[in-house]
C-alpha cells in the first residue's frame, strides 16, 4: 500500500490557494496586457489589476500603495533594499548592521558590500535565536546608514522585537529594513508604529504564486532613496525596471487579502496542530531538543533536534513526508545549519535537527501520521546507535576521549 504524501515544509513554499489561482487566470487570457502600456485598453486592464493589488498590499502593512515596489521575490527585494540604501547613502557613511541568523538573501549582499569597501557588523544571538537590543544600540556608529534584521526566522521561527528595533534605529537616524518573508500576512505589521523604513516579502510564502515579491519603501518621515541595482525603463518609480508580472501580482494581492481575512482562524488552526505535534514527539521520545524561542516564535514553525540520530538518515526514513533538515535554502550542504551554530547548538544536535512547518491546509490526520513516522524512524535509528545506548546507561558521551588511528 502506497504511503500518503504529507507536506510539512510550508516555510520553504506554500501551495497556491485555489482562490488565488482563480483570481490570476483571467490575466493569462483575455487580460494579458502589459501594465506599462498606457495607450490602449489592454494595458489599462492590466494596470487596474496591478493597482488593486498594490493598494491591498500597502494596506496590509499600513502603507500607501505608492510605497509598494513589485519585484521577482524577497531575495530581489532584500538586494534592492540593502545595496540600494548602501550605495545611495555612502556619502553619509559606509557602515551597515545585520545579525548572524539572517537569511542568505541578506547576509550575502552584506558580504558583497564588505568586499566593495563597506564596514559590516554582524550581531550575535542567544541560545533562543534572540537579539540583544543593547548590543544593537552599541553597534550603531555615526557612519551607520542601515540596520537589516528579519521579523521571523525561517529556520527556528524566533520573532525579533521589530517595534523596539525600529525605535532604536529611528532615534539614531539610521534606516531600518526588515525581511518579513516569513511573517507578512501572518503576524501584525504596521510600518509606522514599528518605524520600518523598508520591508521585503514574497507571495509564495502565503499561498500565492512563485516569482513575485514586494519591497515597501518609505516615502516620508524619512523619505528613503535607493540607487537601482539594475536598469532599463525606469519602472516602479525607477527602483526596479522590467515588465511587471501581472498575473503574479494579482495573485499576490488576492493571497494577502485572504491571509488578512482568515489570519485569526489560520493562526489558531496552525498553532493547535504544531503544539499537538510537539507534545506527541516530546511524550513518545526522549532526548528531544526544541530549537528557537519557546513563545516568541512563528505559529507554523517547529524545529527539533533528535539526539543520537542523523537528520539526513531521518529524512530517508520519512520519505513520504516533506520536512527539511537544517536550513531549507542550503540543504544541499553537509555542513550543519549556520543558524543553529550561531545559536550555540552543537554540531551533533544541529546535524540531528528537523524543521516541521505547518500551514493552512495541514490536517490533524497528517500531523498524527507524521508523528507516528517520526517516532518510528527515530526509535529504529537509535536502536542501531551505540551512542544512544551509552546515553541510556548514563554515560556522559562528551567526556569520552576517543582514540584515533
pLDDT digits (tens, 9 = 90+) for 188-208: 999 999 999 999 999 999 999
- The pLDDT, as a whole number, for residue 312 is 84
Provide the phi-psi class of 207: left if phi over 0, else alpha when psi is between -120 and 50, else beta. left
Determine the Cα–Cα distance for residues 310 and 384; give it in Å rounded to an integer.
12
Q: What are phi and psi of 6, to 5 degrees?
A: -125, 130
38 versus 260: which is more confidently predicted?
260
Active site residues: 329
- The pLDDT, as a whole number, for residue 119 is 98
- Average confidence score pLDDT of the chain: 93
pLDDT tens for each residue of 258-283: 999 999 999 999 999 999 999 999 99
Q: Is the pLDDT of residue 28 over 90?
A: yes
Of 295-309, 313-327, 373-387, minimum mean pLDDT range:
313-327
- The pLDDT, as a whole number, for residue 326 is 64
- Within 8 A by CB and 6+ apart from 244, the residues are 34, 35, 36, 46, 50, 70, 235, 236
CB-based contact 45:167 (threshold 8 Å): no
Q: Where are the domains of the chain?
A: 6-13+263-398, 18-261
Quick count: other Cβ atoms within 10 Å of Cβ 268? Answer: 11
Of 154-158, 165-169, 186-190, 335-339, minimum mean pLDDT range:
335-339
- The pLDDT, as a whole number, for residue 392 is 81
- The pLDDT, as a whole number, for residue 127 is 97
- The pLDDT, as a whole number, for residue 397 is 65
Q: Is the pLDDT of residue 386 over 80?
A: no
First to last CA, the chain: 47
Query: How confident is the model over 163-187, as a mean pLDDT?
Result: 98
Determine the Cα–Cα distance for residues 337 and 4; give it in Å rounded to an integer.
29
CB-based contact 306:193 (threshold 8 Å): no
pTM beyond cutoff 0.75: yes
Confidence of residue 94 (pLDDT cuts 50, 70, 90): very high
| Burial bucket for residue 357 (CB in 10 Å: 0-12, 13-18, 19+) | buried
Is the CATH number of domain 6-13+263-398 3.40.1280.10?
Answer: no
Does 6-13+263-398 match 18-261 in CATH topology?
no
234 versus 75: which is more confidently predicted?
75
> Where would I find the H helices in 91-237?
104-115, 133-139, 162-172
The CATH class of the 18-261 domain is alpha beta
Q: Is the pLDDT of residue 234 over 90?
A: no
237 versus 122: which is more confidently predicted?
122
Determine the Cα–Cα distance for residues 169 and 162; give it in Å rounded to an integer.
10
Of 222, 219, 217, 224, which is closest to residue 201 (Cα–Cα)? Answer: 217
- The pLDDT, as a whole number, for residue 325 is 84
Give the range with max mean pLDDT: 85-99, 222-236, 309-323: 85-99
- The pLDDT, as a whole number, for residue 311 is 83
Determine the Cα–Cα distance for residues 45 and 221; give it in Å rounded to an integer.
33
- Within 8 A by CB and 6+ apart from 201, the residues are 74, 77, 180, 181, 184, 185, 213, 214
Query: How confident is the model over 234-256, as a mean pLDDT?
Result: 90
- The pLDDT, as a whole number, for residue 398 is 65
Q: HSE of 3 in the Cβ direction (CA atoms, 13 Å)? A: 14
Confidence of residue 341 (pLDDT cuts 50, 70, 90): very high
> Which grid coordinates are listed for 249?
501580482
Confidence of residue 22 (pLDDT cuts 50, 70, 90): very high
- The pLDDT, as a whole number, for residue 333 is 55
Q: HSE of 57 in the Cβ direction (CA atoms, 13 Å)? A: 32
Confidence of residue 389 (pLDDT cuts 50, 70, 90): confident
Q: Is the bond into 222 cis (omega within 30 degrees of 0)? A: yes
Q: Is the pLDDT of residue 116 over 50?
A: yes
Q: Is the pLDDT of residue 332 over 70?
A: no
Of 218, 212, 224, 227, which is closest to residue 73 (Cα–Cα)? Answer: 212
Q: Among all chains, which residue has been given the C-alpha cell 576517543? A: 402
Q: Is the pLDDT of residue 329 over 50?
A: no
Rounded (10°) CA dihedral 237, 175, 340, 327: 0
139 by DSSP, 3-state: which? helix
Amino acid at each position: 500500500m502506497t504511503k500518503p504524501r504529507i507536506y510539512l515544509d510550508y516555510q520553504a513554499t506554500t501551495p497556491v490557494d485555489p482562490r488565488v489561482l482563480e483570481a490570476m487566470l483571467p490575466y493569462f487570457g483575455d487580460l494579458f496586457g502589459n501594465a506599462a502600456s498606457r495607450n490602449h485598453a489592454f494595458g489599462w486592464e492590466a494596470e487596474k489589476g496591478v493597482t488593486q493589488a498594490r493598494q491591498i498590499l500597502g494596506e496590509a502593512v499600513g502603507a500607501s500603495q505608492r510605497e509598494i515596489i513589485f519585484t521577482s521575490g524577497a531575495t530581489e527585494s532584500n538586494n534592492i533594499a540593502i545595496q540600494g540604501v548602501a550605495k545611495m547613502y555612502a556619502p553619509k557613511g559606509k557602515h551597515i548592521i545585520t545579525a548572524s541568523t539572517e537569511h542568505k538573501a541578506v547576509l550575502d549582499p552584506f558580504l558583497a558590500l564588505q568586499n566593495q569597501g563597506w564596514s559590516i557588523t554582524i550581531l550575535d544571538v542567544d541560545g533562543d535565536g534572540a537579539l540583544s537590543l543593547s548590543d544593537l544600540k552599541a553597534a550603531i556608529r555615526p557612519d551607520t546608514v542601515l540596520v537589516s534584521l528579519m521579523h521571523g526566522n525561517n529556520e527556528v521561527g524566533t520573532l525579533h522585537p521589530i517595534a523596539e528595533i525600529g525605535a532604536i534605529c529611528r532615534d539614531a537616524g539610521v534606516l531600518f529594513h526588515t525581511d518579513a518573508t516569513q511573517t507578512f500576512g501572518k503576524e501584525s505589521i504596521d510600518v509606522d508604529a514599528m518605524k520600518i523604513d523598508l520591508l521585503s516579502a514574497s507571495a509564495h510564502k502565503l499561498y500565492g504564486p512563485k516569482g513575485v515579491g514586494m519591497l515597501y519603501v518609505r516615502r516620508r518621515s524619512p523619505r528613503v532613496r535607493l540607487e537601482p541595482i539594475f536598469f532599463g525603463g525606469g519602472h516602479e518609480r525607477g527602483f526596479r525596471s522590467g515588465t511587471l508580472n501581472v498575473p503574479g501580482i494579482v495573485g499576490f494581492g488576492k493571497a494577502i487579502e485572504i491571509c488578512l481575512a482568515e489570519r485569526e482562524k489560520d493562526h489558531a488552526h496552525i498553532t493547535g496542530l504544531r503544539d499537538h505535534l510537539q507534545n506527541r514527539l516530546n511524550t513518545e521520545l526522549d532526548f528531544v531538543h526544541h530549537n528557537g524561542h519557546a513563545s516568541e516564535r512563528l505559529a507554523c514553525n517547529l524545529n527539533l533536534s533528535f539526539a543520537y540520530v542523523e537528520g539526513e538518515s531521518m529524512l530517508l526514513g520519512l520519505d513520504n513526508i516533506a520536512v527539511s533538515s537544517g536550513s531549507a535554502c542550503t540543504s544541499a550542504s553537509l555542513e550543519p545549519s549556520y543558524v543553529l551554530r550561531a545559536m550555540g547548538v552543537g554540531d551533533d544536535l544541529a546535524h540531528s535537527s528537523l524543521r516541521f512547518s505547518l500551514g493552512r491546509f495541514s490536517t490533524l490526520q497528517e500531523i498524527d501520521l507524521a508523528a507516528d513516522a517520526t517516532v518510528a524512524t527515530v526509535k529504529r535509528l537509535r536502536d542501531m546507535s551505540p551512542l544512544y545506548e551509552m546515553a541510556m546507561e548514563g554515560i556522559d558521551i562528551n567526556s569520552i576521549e576517543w582514540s584515533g588511528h
